[in-house]
């Protein structure tokens, strides 16, 4: 395990709450990553904006890289390589108990335990169990209450089950969780199909008000999942380059910002990055037709030519694992094409991340994150799983 230091989940989120209380509404960007270049691009965008962040990996991302220790290594290596010294927390996204424990033992700073499909009392029990495991290690916990429409790994719901603001304080009190994803009408993926009236940001506002009345807001944080904006120009770019993505629609940025003003402190973004990577890769193949002959890129070209709606880079970079190639470039001629593509992807991600964290109000907040280690955080939690 690299000893490159990650920041606690808690202190990163607390910086956004403190800034918000001082009048500048802010939320931390939480960016999903699957592969090395993606992590490098996010870090570069954060540096340009002087922003702290949460970098997160789903169960699928952990599997893709071969386990939580590989994701930890991949991220800390990307930080070391670029001399990244701004606060970054590594978080498991939509985890279960088994993966949560594995990640808490692998250097992660936060765990999301998604038991949102369970009845409230069971959801509380599972989340509380995760807190009891994670907090003594200084690892923060995010629960989920209510259900986002759509499929997220093994949790799916046809319709949004909106969170009830009057249950939010109870959830925090009974679980001891640091953060809570509340369903207010967003959904995962590029086809959010959301009508603007389905986005009930008043759920965020009323939840935060109830937390304020209960004295919870200084150390408990609300999270917005499914927050990709799905820029239409990106979708059009992909379609003009041979893709076929229909009906893609994201959350209007204004609604996300309203949610932040009302109390969201963590904003989850995955799909926007996937779209940017896909557009860049398709454009690269158009501009460099001979790149399709490079061994490391052949598979990607075939998948993009046959699956016109593909946007998940794991589908087309599945076999090549960019990190392995970049660490030990094969002697094969043409590898420069692969490296060039990765540089373009990194830049595309950096530009979007910089833009988003500026919009979320967390640009410039890197210096206000309390400088604690996970060991310090464990003591802060009291070492017994309580807040």
Please pick, from the candidates 62, 207, 228, 278, the single residue that binds ligand 13P as defined by CB under 6 A.
228
Number of residues engaging Zn ion in binding (CB under 5 A):
1
User: Are 38 and 313 spatial neighbours (Cβ–Cβ below 8 Å)?
Assistant: yes
Please state whether beta strands 264-269 and 28-32 pair in parallel, antiparallel, or not at all (unpaired). parallel
CA 117 to chain centre: 20
Question: Which parts of 148-177 interact with ligand G3H (CB under 6 A)?
Answer: 152-153
Number of helical (H) and strand (E) elements in the chain, helices listed first = 16, 10
Q: Which of 137, 192, 225, 321 binds Zn ion (CB under 5 A)?
A: 225
Whether the Cβ atoms of residue 69 and residue 106 lie closer than 8 Å to each other: yes
Q: Which does 61 bind (CB under 5 to 8 A by kind): ligand G3H, Zn ion, ligand 13P, none?
A: ligand G3H
Residue 264: strand pairing partners: 222
Query: Which residue among the candidates 3, 81, 93, 295 is catalytic per the annotation?
Result: 93
Pairing of strands 88-95, 110-113: parallel
315 binds ligand G3H (CB under 6 A): no
Window 81 to 100, contacts with ligand G3H (CB under 6 A):
93-94
Q: What is the DSSP letter of 374?
A: H
Instruction: List the interface residues with ligand G3H, window 226-285 (CB under 6 A).
Output: 270
Take residue 77 and report the two structure tokens written for it: 């290596």
> Does residue 287 carry a catalytic annotation?
no
- Binding mask 7-46 toward ligand 13P (x if CB under 6 A, else -) reads -------------------------x--------------
Cα 275 to chain centroid distance, Å, stands at 15
Nearer Cβ to ligand G3H (112/366): 112
- Judge contact between 135 and 171, C-beta under 8 A: no
Classify the C-alpha dihedral 43-49-51-53 as positive or negative: negative
> Is residue 93 within the footprint of ligand 13P (CB under 6 A)?
yes
Name the helix (H) or strand (E) containing 87.
Answer: none
Min dist. Cβ of residue 247 to Zn ion (A) = 20
Stretch that binds ligand 13P, among 98-106, 266-274, 296-304, 356-364 (CB under 6 A): 266-274
* Cα–Cα distance measured from residue 291 to residue 340, given in angstroms and rounded to the nearest whole number: 10
Q: Which residues contact 34 (CB under 8 A, 6 or more apart)?
A: 57, 60, 61, 64, 65, 313, 314
Sketch the per residue contact string, 14 through 53, with Zn ion: x for CB under 5 A, - otherwise.
Answer: ----------------------------------------
Of the pair 228, 378, the CB lying nearest ligand 13P is at 228
**CB under 5 to 8 A by kind: which of ligand 13P, ligand G3H, Zn ion, none does 269 bind?**
ligand 13P
Q: Which of 68, 95, 226, 243 binds ligand 13P (CB under 6 A)?
A: 226
Q: b/e string for 145-165 if b means 16 or more Cβ within 10 A?
A: bbbbbbebeebebeebeebbb
DSSP state, residue 217: T
Work out what residue 153 binds among Zn ion, ligand G3H, ligand 13P, none; the CB cut-off runs from 5 to 8 Å by kind: ligand G3H
For the chain, the straight-line distance linking the first and the last C-alpha, in angstroms and rounded, comes to 28
Rounded alpha-carbon distances, angstroms, from residue 33 to 61, 111, 160: 7, 15, 25
Separation CA 31–CA 43 (nearest Å): 10
- Of all residues in the shown chain, the one whose CB is closest to ligand G3H is 58
Q: Is 137 in the site for ligand G3H (CB under 6 A)?
A: no
Applying CB under 6 A, among 77, 84, 135, 225 the residue interacting with ligand 13P is 225
**Nearest distance in Å: CB 186, ligand 13P:** 7
Whole-angstrom Cα distance, residue 220 to residue 237?
40
Q: Which residues bind ligand 13P (CB under 6 A)?
A: 32, 93-94, 188-189, 225-228, 268-271
Q: Which residues bind Zn ion (CB under 5 A)?
A: 225
Which residues are annotated as catalytic?
93
Q: Which residues bind ligand G3H (CB under 6 A)?
A: 32, 58, 60-61, 93-94, 152-153, 188, 270
């Amino acid at each position: 395990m690299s000893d490159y230091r990650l920041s606690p989940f808690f202190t990163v989120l607390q910086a956004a709450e403190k800034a918000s209380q001082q009048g500048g509404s802010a939320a931390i960007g939480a960016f999903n990553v699957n592969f090395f270049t993606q992590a490098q691009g996010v870090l570069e965008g954060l540096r340009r904006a002087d922003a702290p962040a949460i970098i997160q990996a789903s169960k699928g991302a952990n599997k893709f890289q071969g386990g939580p220790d590989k994701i930890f290594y991949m991220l800390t290596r990307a930080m070391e390589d670029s001399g990244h010294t701004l606060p970054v927390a590594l978080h498991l996204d939509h985890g279960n108990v088994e993966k949560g424990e594995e990640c808490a033992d692998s250097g992660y700073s936060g765990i999301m335990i998604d038991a949102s499909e369970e009845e409230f009392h069971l959801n509380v029990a599972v989340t509380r169990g995760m807190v009891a495991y994670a907090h003594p290690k200084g690892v923060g916990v995010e629960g989920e209450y209510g259900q986002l429409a759509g499929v997220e790994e093994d949790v799916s719901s046809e319709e949004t089950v909106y969170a009830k603001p009057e249950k939010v304080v109870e959830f925090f009190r009974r679980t001891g969780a640091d953060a809570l994803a509340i369903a207010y009408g967003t959904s995962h993926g590029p086809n959010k199909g959301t009508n603007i009236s389905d986005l009930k940001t008043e759920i965020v506002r009323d939840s935060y008000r109830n937390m304020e009345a209960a004295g919870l807001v200084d150390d408990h944080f609300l999270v917005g999942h499914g927050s990709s904006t799905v820029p239409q120009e990106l979708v059009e770019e992909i379609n003009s380059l041979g893709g076929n993505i229909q009906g893609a629609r994201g959350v209007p940025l204004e609604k996300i910002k309203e949610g932040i003003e009302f109390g969201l402190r963590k904003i989850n973004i995955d799909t926007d990055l996937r779209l940017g990577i896909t557009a860049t890769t398709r454009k690269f193949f158009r501009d460099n037709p001979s790149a399709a002959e490079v061994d490391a890129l052949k598979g990607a070209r075939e998948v993009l030519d046959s699956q016109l709606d593909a946007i998940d880079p794991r589908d087309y970079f599945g076999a090549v694992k960019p990190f392995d190639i970049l660490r030990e470039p094969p002697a094969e001629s043409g590898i420069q094409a692969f490296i060039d593509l990765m540089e373009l992807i990194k830049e595309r991600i950096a530009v979007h991340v910089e833009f988003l964290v500026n919009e979320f109000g967390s640009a410039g907040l890197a210096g206000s994150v309390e400088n604690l280690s996970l060991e310090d955080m464990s003591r802060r939690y009291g070492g017994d799983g309580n807040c």
